[in-house]
A and B are shown apart, each in its own frame.
Chain A
Amino acid sequence: MRFVDEFRDATTARALATEIAALCEPGRRYKFMEVCGGHTHTIYKHGLEDYLPETVSLVHGPGCPVCVIPMGRVDDAIALAEHDDVIMTSFGDMMRVPGGRGSFFDSKAAGADIRMVYCPLDALKIARKNPDKRVVFMAIGFETTAPSTAMTVLRAAVEKLDNFAVFCNHVTIIPAIKAILDSPDLRLDGFIGPGHVSTVIGCRPYEFIARDHGKPLVCSGFEPLDILQSVYRLLLQLHEGRCEVENQYSRVVPWNGNAKALRVIGEVMELRPHFEWRGLGFISHSALRMREKYARFDAEQIFGVPGVRVADPKACQCGEVLKGVLKPWECKVFGTACTPETPIGTCMVSSEGACAAYYNFGRFSRERVKEATRA
């Protein structure tokens, strides 16, 4: 298929792998973090690690928006959904995320009207069709999805669809990366920068990572060759003694971002003073809420959200996994108490979560897998 096969070509991958191996200094180990959950998914789905030398390891970062939603916010959303006149809407991978007392799926089975949508505008359609109901959109995601939520609110305002509201859980990527850079137990050689977030915010906001923290960052696309090339470019920077922000995903990401999208976010939303991240705790100015001007579309103001706080289960080490301190399998409950069927931590819920990706695609002795798949 055009625009897909070109980016998954095995011959090019082999050539790139040779170049990568040549750039690795003997005896040195390299650790790169892919910030974005979409990258984690690609890495496992295509078996990309088979192309990397043993000395290069990829650490999965906090960029899966579903994975960083704290349990309390899920409980709040379920409390909203349980209002008799509410139709709750959200993206598909939110459905299985466990709060302190079950997931959207469980709540739906118990009678709440919860519907999966592919786009926030679909929630607006539902609101138009059900004027006697209040339709709430559970908004999640980084700057990638925030503009579409903001656009939907603007549309609702134009149409005066007052039975539509947003439960805003949008988060911002830079504070999360800062939190990781500040974490003392972490050793990284560089970052594979998030691609789709950068289509909105551009590459400029990452400059402090190279300048102040001395870590190179390559903003990367989501096809396997994109990621492999980004690893190559990170190694090349280290080899040449450079430390810069580079844009591998230039076919989509403008260096200065998307001004229109940023304006729309700014019109509808503002930074929260603080927001809880699953596993990372409270991070200042790390999330968005609705501006006062759009309070009539803000579910938190309309409904009086309970504001439940639920401690992460003690055994759950999602935080360490999100920070890249632990590999998924190093978590105490990985694969036994915490599985994709009965996830404890959010890293196990979304297919982009580091744990779910490892469990579904990577869980096995590499040697035995290689032996079995030898043609």
Chain B
Amino acid sequence: MTTHDLGPTIPARANWAEEAVAAHAGAEHLTREEQVLERIAKARARKAKIKEQRVTLSHGAGGKATHTLIEAVFLEAFRNPVLERLEDGASLAVSWTDGATGRLAFTTDSFVVSPLFFPGGDIGDLAVNGTVNDLAMCGARPLHLSAGFILEEGFPVADLQRIVASMAAAAQAAGVQIVTGDTKVVQRGKADGCYITTAGVGLLDRPTTLSAAAARPGDVVLVSGPIGDHGITVMLARGELDIEADIESDTAPLHGITAGLLDVAGDGVRLLRDATRGGVATICNEVAVASQVAVVLDESSLPVRPVVTGASELLGIDPLYVACEGRLVAVVGPDRADAALAALHAHPLGEGAAVIGTVKDDPPGLVLLRTAFGGTRIVDLLVGDPLPRIC
């Protein structure tokens, strides 16, 4: 190897790396690799801290960067017991002046999908179904929605009417009403056509409390159908990949299927989550951390359409991280697992439901995958968006 001196060298960042290493000495009884792994586990358990100076796209991708942003910025400022649970929606106890009491679920979600129209749906039905589903995942019966629109100057009214019509249809199908709203228009170039924020309230009229922290060893993990359809559809609809495939978004309201599931296996259902941004892998990680359990998934049991597998293989991404908009993950106690699977299968949206994994006690906080090839690996949170690999 020939070394050439090519002029002055600029020193890189300060020695924070060395300092970080020095802070993790000790634990001599373990092998060196185990010590390192222990050190990493500790580092991961530390309080989230944002190192970036500016928000990057990674902060919106649903992976580690998003979690860090939520915990270090929002949770830090707004901290309260309801928000701290970081569920899909807030569960609120309310009491009226006449002495009656009840529980409500309350949630909000923003939609910035590009393109606005894609096979199987558009930003309108996505905005309604997304909030309906967040309420359904709390175990609630969705009642009322709000809708806020941020529109870019010059946006075609015909497109807006098309979006709103599909929102109306989705609301009717989900049995909810959009009862309040807001509109803002920003200068051309300050937004990408149309952004929608919906919020929703639902009635928690079942005794069950669902929580990502409720999973226990022995529980079973189910998914309500093939994963990754929405994410792959939108990626292909952007037209950047020159891949054509016969696939549609799975956007759908899930309150019907959750009601069916809770009717049959209500006392055994620990938690429900809709597998949106970050996909099934992200949900399983949230469960593993919140419940301090290991979630063990079985790759050959994962329902994935061949077209999604194919596109993912080509792009070098993993369907486990690809968004769905009409699929839920349920963790259910072992004695109710068969009933839960039957309940999912009984609903038209749950025909492709499957048991995809189990909950174990060790190693806590991790998601593991038995690969179809017969090996094992960790399924971690992604840092940002799944980036295509070059070769």
Q: How far is the CA of A178 from the CA of B13 in the complex (A)?
A: 31
Contact yes or no, A105 B56, CB < 8 A: yes
The B257-308 residues at the A interface (CB cut-off 8 A) are 294, 296, 306
Q: How far is the CA of A315 from the CA of B24 in the complex (A)?
A: 14
Q: Any chain B CB within 8 A of the CB of A155? A: no
User: Is chain B's binding surface mostly helix, strand, loop or mixed?
Assistant: loop
Of chain B, the residue at the smallest CB distance from A308 is: B10
Interface string of B30-61 (1 = CB under 8 A from A): 00111011011001000000011111111000
Size bin of chain A's contact surface: 35 or more
Chain A neighbourhood of B18, CB < 8 A: 314-315, 332
Q: How far is the CA of A185 from the CA of B57 in the complex (A)?
A: 41
Q: How far is the CA of A44 from the CA of B52 in the complex (A)?
A: 29
Q: How far is the CA of A341 from the CA of B55 in the complex (A)?
A: 14
Q: How far is the CA of A149 from the CA of B387 in the complex (A)?
A: 20
Q: How far is the CA of A104 from the CA of B362 in the complex (A)?
A: 38
Q: How far is the CA of A340 from the CA of B386 in the complex (A)?
A: 13
Contact of B6 among A8, A108, A309, A332 (CB under 8 A): A309
Chain A neighbourhood of B378, CB < 8 A: 360-364, 369
Contact of A93 among B33, B43, B387 (CB under 8 A): B387
Contact of B373 among A1, A47, A370 (CB under 8 A): A47
Q: Any chain B CB within 8 A of the CB of A25? A: no
Q: A48-B373, A106-B53, A336-B39 are in contact. Are A283 and B1 (CB under 8 A)?
A: yes
Contact yes or no, A1 B390, CB < 8 A: no
Contact yes or no, A309 B10, CB < 8 A: yes
Q: Any chain A CB within 8 A of the CB of B374? A: yes
Contact of A311 among B11, B23, B36, B53 (CB under 8 A): B11
Q: How far is the CA of A51 from the CA of B12 in the complex (A)?
A: 41
Contact yes or no, A282 B43, CB < 8 A: no
Q: A91-B390, A341-B383 are in contact. Are A13 and B17 (CB under 8 A)?
A: no
Of chain B, the residue at the smallest CB distance from A276 is: B6
Chain A neighbourhood of B156, CB < 8 A: none
Chain B neighbourhood of A179, CB < 8 A: 1
Q: How far is the CA of A370 from the CA of B390 in the complex (A)?
A: 32
Contact yes or no, A310 B10, CB < 8 A: yes
Q: Any chain B CB within 8 A of the CB of A122? A: yes
Contact of B362 among A274, A333, A371 (CB under 8 A): A371
Chain A neighbourhood of B64, CB < 8 A: 340-341
The A308-343 residues at the B interface (CB cut-off 8 A) are 308-316, 327, 329-330, 332-342
* Interface residue ranges, B against A (CB under 8 Å): 1-4, 6-13, 15-18, 20-21, 23-24, 32-34, 36-37, 39-40, 43, 51-58, 64-65, 68, 240-241, 294, 296, 306, 309-310, 313, 316, 318, 360, 362-363, 366, 368-378, 380, 383-384, 387-391
> Which are the 9 A-B pairs with shortest beta-carbon distances?
A47-B375, A335-B40, A92-B387, A10-B374, A337-B20, A315-B17, A337-B17, A361-B377, A46-B373
